[in-house]
Amino acid sequence: MPAVPGRQGPGSSQAIERQFLLLGTSPNIVRQFPEMPELRELVIAFWDSGYVALCRHELADDVVYVLTFRHLKEASY
């Protein structure tokens, strides 16, 4: 069964995985989280919506931690 636009399905998991792999090699692709400047948001576009991952980049260890994850249509983390 094909994925329906705006719905979670096989295509969304591929989009999420692709962005997480990119985040691992290019941690500066994220935007600053306004409420807490030490945190960043990774926006993952998918059809007419998408997902947002709240992350923290530890420069000393060169590690990115994904703290939480939500659909763009959800109100908050």
What does each of the 77 residues of the chain score in pLDDT, given as a tens digit? Answer: 444 455 555 688 898 999 999 998 898 899 998 889 899 999 999 888 899 999 999 989 989 999 999 998 887 77
Q: Quick one: pLDDT at residue 10?
A: 62
Per domain, the residue ranges of the chain are 10-71
What pLDDT is recorded for position 1?
40
d(CA 70, CA 62) in angstroms, rounded, equals 24
CA distances to 6, 29, 71 from 1, rounded to whole Å, are 15, 33, 22
Q: Which residues of 27-55 are buried (b: 16+ CB within 10 A; e: fewer)?
A: beebeebeeeeebbbbebebeeebbbbbb
Query: pTM for the full model?
Result: 0.74
